[in-house]
Structure 1
Amino acid sequence: MTANPILLQKKYSRVIECFAKQQGLSLDAALDFLYHSQVYQLIRDGVSDMHCMSDEYLAEELRQEYIEKALGNYQ
């Protein structure tokens, strides 16, 4: 299932803001990370209706991916 592109843009902005606060990142850094993340690809492609998950859930998924990449454990 795919979501309305305008609604997805609003979703991304809320997730970016939440993720930036969690990690103490600038909005630009959080935006850059999101658009290069696996989470973004899953949301964009409509996999498992990820766009239906809460903003906090998606920010937490991003946080986990961010930590894995920082530790070098991400494929």
Structure 2
Amino acid sequence: MGELLMTEPDELLFDPIDWQQMQIMAKLTPGERMMAMAQASAFGHALLRGALQTRFPDKSLHEINLMMLRYIERQKEREY
């Protein structure tokens, strides 16, 4: 998701649109779009898990997963 930038109080600016990616996504069926979304989500979770395992090598997988859940919940709270 693009970063939201505030320039003026009433003006919002978004990252440029990737038109090629939009055309590719438009050609997908709804099921294929959901699969792409699920794969992107899994990739993001894997990146987060890898970063936490690198930062905390002594933590168990269970502890890393709990840290991930706390991190994701904090991010959800910040969005709203």
Q: Give me the TM-score of the superposition, normalised by structure 1.
A: 0.41
More strand by share: 2
Q: Higher relative contact order at CA 8 Å, sep ≥6: structure 1 or structure 2?
A: 1
